[in-house]
Each structure stands twice: as structure tokens, then as C-alpha cells.
């Protein structure tokens, strides 16, 4: 069974990013976004719909809208 990446795909479209997936399992999705600033590694938890970026953690809903954004300085 593959992970549901539809919410993540909507989020990517809203932001204007392209994506290259590395792994797509029911527990985790990993890959690289291509942004205007350059490539960004990410992981996505399809169960909780949380996108993990190097300096941010973004919770999205089933339509790809951002519900919560946490920024880390580490």
C-alpha cells in the first residue's frame, strides 16, 4: 500500500514547487522540493499530514492548506 500524497501534492502546487520523491511508504514520504531558492530535502508523514523541512514543520489538511507552521533555528 502506498502513502496518500494527494494533500502534499496540493500543497506543492499552491507553493509552486516541483518534487522528486525518493521513498513513498505508508509511514513516510521523502524527497526533494525544487524551489526558486534551490532544492530542499523534506519528509512527509501521511498519517498526521506533517511536512518536515530543515527549518520548518508544517501541518496541512486534506486539501493542502497550511494549518500550523513551526519554525526551528537549529
In this predicted model, what pLDDT tens digit does every residue of 57-74 receive, in sequence order?
Answer: 999 999 999 999 999 865
As to burial, measured by CB atoms within 10 angstroms (0-12 exposed, 13-18 middle, 19+ buried), residue 51 is buried
pLDDT tens-digit map of 6-38: 999 999 999 999 999 999 998 999 999 999 899
Inter-CA distances, 25 with 7, 29, 55, Å: 15, 6, 23
Please give the DSSP secondary-structure letter assigned to residue 48.
T
pTM: 0.88
Report pLDDT for 74: 58
Nearest Cα residue to 58 out of 30, 28, 67, 72: 67
Nearest Cα residue to 46 out of 67, 20, 25, 66: 25
Report pLDDT for 3: 86
Amino acid at each position: 500500500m502506498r502513502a496518500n500524497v494527494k494533500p502534499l501534492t496540493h500543497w506543492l502546487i499552491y507553493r509552486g514547487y516541483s518534487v522528486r520523491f525518493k521513498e513513498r511508504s505508508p509511514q513516510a514520504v521523502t524527497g526533494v522540493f525544487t524551489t526558486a531558492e534551490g532544492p530542499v530535502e523534506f519528509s512527509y508523514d501521511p498519517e498526521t499530514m506533517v511536512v518536515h523541512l530543515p527549518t520548518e514543520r508544517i501541518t496541512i489538511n486534506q486539501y493542502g492548506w497550511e494549518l500550523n507552521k513551526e519554525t526551528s533555528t537549529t
